[in-house]
Amino acid sequence: MLLEDAAQRRGAAEAVRDARRSLTYTELLDGSRRVAGALVERYGLRPGDRAVVQFPNVVDYVEVIFALFDAGVLPVFALASHGIADITDLVERSDAAAFLTVADDRDHAGALAQTRSTTSDGRTFHCIVGDPDAADPLAAHRVDAASSTGRSGAPSDIAFLQLSGGTTGAPKLIGRTHDDYLYSVRASAEICGLDATSVFGVVLPVSHNFTMSSPGILGAVHAGARIVMVDATDARTVLDAVATQRITHLSAVPPLVAAWLDSPEAGRHDVSSLTVLGVGGAKLARAQAQRVPGLFGSATLQQVFGMAEGLVNYTRLDDDPETIVGTQGRPISPADEVRVVDADGQPVADGVEGALQTRGPYTIRNYWGGASPESFTEDGFYRTGDRVVRDERGYVTVVGRDKDQINRAGEKIAPAEIEGVLVTHPAIRDASVVGVPDDRLGERSVAYIIPAAAAVAGGDVPDPIAVRGFLRESGLARFKIPDDVFIVDDFPTTAVGKISKNSQRASVATPALDDP
Ligand code: J2J
């Protein structure tokens, strides 16, 4: 097992730290086993159960996920920014037996406890809450003995449920197996140049697939490297952490890189330790890619184009500068099959834009629970929804997207999910949410609202502020709340009468609408 191996080789070395505490590999292994013991003995969790986890960037998160792996329980990776509606939905759809978190003022555990007391087969549903102010936040959830529960899954078992970007409502659940995932993690660690002397800085949300695996927290554990949790994303905090912790590897989304490049903090910190800056999650503009050396001196930029469903592409550290700034890399494995097709599903020539489909050693063949068979071709390729150009070497450049998904600073929003909540408002007849280009975020989200006739007649059409307030109260994650809301009489339609999201996107540039 990943952590056991690292503890054997690197037991006394520091494994992970946050602003409050640090653990050696031996302490991390022992600590996670003592939590695993409690999951089994005290909370009655069984192999194959699901447990939704929601943590900020803290050491406890790493202990908890290894505890769940040891107990054979599948973590369901909620993001720290998820609201209670997102969490409730994940708990229900995964039929989770537990929710693990650290206490915060949003008190999702308290809210969940009101609505869920049992699993579908009648067992008790547990909220397991760490105390962030304690020296050992998980102290109340440990047994004394630091021996393995011996329940960890077989290599071909599903290890966890990751969340899809989602195009048709709430995120689909992605089950990844131990062996497939570990293959991608080991290969990633090598491609990113991680070794036991590396220091991996975690700035992005801990549970995102990028942060977990590309090369991520698991790649760092595989390499026996040191993990530094950074709890804010502003330039000063991050650059200071690089300097003081001698971070060698950092992963970021493009808007963060853009903010760091623009910050007065740039150039004020000694960032000479940094060797690799991994950037992915959304397209990095060439102009920004070219500016990276100005901020990080000798560090190599590495573009990362991945997806929780599987396929991950990297530019290689020894690629020529043009490849590094101009492409999103090539697949991890020679066995990754990448097919670029036209509207009829026919492969196009290298250099021609098309839709990316992929099949390979670590890409899923269906979603957990069999959801969305339309996301896969008959011969088992995953339809990524991304439009790319591939060159003759196999490097891909992302040029756009087919799917109705907003990529807001790397956080994926399914318009259908937000629209679904909006139309539950009694004064809203219909809603359409689109993404529009934004200098800072890459894309920002815009909601168009048609008020209900009764609301118009009664003079109580909700204003944009009320609409955003309604979404916030409904418990959606903050990043899902539209950046702009326009109240309109009608939606533009296409020739076949569908909402023309293209016209809506275009009209935001020149709003002839009731601008708030
Ligand atoms: C353009 N679009 C990109 C890139 C992802 C590593 C890195 C990222 C993710 C991730 C991940 C992009 N340029 N460099 O899981 O392991 C968009 C594409 C893709 C979708 C996947 C990893 N990198 N994207 O972002 O599951 O549209 O994974 O299909 O969140 O993000 O989103 P997600």
Q: What is the mean pLDDT of each run of 10 residues along the chain (516 residues)?
A: 96 97 98 98 98 98 98 97 94 98 96 96 97 96 97 96 77 96 98 98 96 98 98 95 98 88 90 96 87 88 97 98 97 98 95 96 95 92 95 94 87 86 89 91 94 90 95 93 94 72 81 40
Per the structure, the complete domain to which residue 490 belongs is given by 406-509
From residue 37, give the alpha-carbon distance in Å to each of 41, 44, 144, 147: 6, 10, 8, 8
Residue 28 lies in a domain: no
Residue 467 lies in a domain: yes
Q: What is the pLDDT of residue 184?
A: 98
Phi, psi of 13, deg, nearest 5: -80, 150
Q: What is the pLDDT of residue 203?
A: 96
282 CA to middle of ligand 1, Å? 6
Does any ligand 1 atom lie closer than 6 A to the CB of residue 303? yes
DSSP code per residue over 411-430: EEE-HHHHHHHHTTSTTEEE
Return the residue whose CA atom lies nearest to atom 5 of ligand 1.
Answer: 281
Q: State in Å, rounded, how far the first CA of the chain is from the last one.
A: 55
Phi, psi of 76, deg, nearest 5: -110, 115
The alpha-carbon radius of gyration of the chain (Å, integer) is: 23
**Helix residue ranges per DSSP H, 121-215:** 178-191, 209-213
272 CA to middle of ligand 1, Å? 28
Residue 483 lies in a domain: yes
Residue 482 lies in a domain: yes
Query: Which ligand 1 atom sits closest to the C-alpha of 384?
Result: 29
Q: Among residues 226, 239, 22, which one has the least CA distance to residue 136? A: 22
Phi, psi of 240, deg, nearest 5: -65, -40
Query: What is the pTM (predicted TM-score) of this model?
Result: 0.90
436 CA to middle of ligand 1, Å? 18
313 CA to middle of ligand 1, Å? 9
Does any ligand 1 atom lie closer than 6 A to the CB of residue 383? no
Residues linked to residue 77 through DSSP beta bridges, in sequence order: 53
The Cα 381–Cα 302 span in angstroms is 26
Residue 311 near residue 280, CB atoms below 8 Å: no
Q: Among residues 167, 78, 163, which one has the least CA distance to residue 415? A: 167
111 CA to middle of ligand 1, Å? 32
Query: Which ligand 1 atom sits closest to the C-alpha of 304?
Result: 14
Does any ligand 1 atom lie closer than 6 A to the CB of residue 210? yes
CATH number at residue 488: 3.30.300.30
The Cα 427–Cα 461 span in angstroms is 6
User: Which amino acid is present at 212?
Assistant: M
Residue 423 lies in a domain: yes
The Cα 62–Cα 507 span in angstroms is 45
Phi, psi of 434, deg, nearest 5: -130, 160
Which of 307, 323, 388 has the most ligand 1 atoms within 8 A of CB, as the residue to mutate? 307
Q: What is the pLDDT of residue 168?
A: 60
Q: What is the DSSP letter of 472?
A: H
Residue 98 lies in a domain: no
Which of 305, 358, 363, 395 has the most ligand 1 atoms within 8 A of CB, as the residue to mutate? 305
The Cα 215–Cα 189 span in angstroms is 5
Return the residue whose CA atom lies nearest to atom 13 of ligand 1.
Answer: 283
Residue 338 lies in a domain: no
Return the residue whose CA atom lies nearest to atom 27 of ligand 1.
Answer: 386
The Cα 348–Cα 399 span in angstroms is 15
Q: Which residues contact 461 (CB under 8 A, 6 or more apart)?
A: 427, 451, 455, 487
Query: Which ligand 1 atom sits closest to the C-alpha of 412?
Result: 30
User: Which amino acid is present at 359?
Assistant: R
Residue 468 lies in a domain: yes
Report how many domains make up the chain. 1
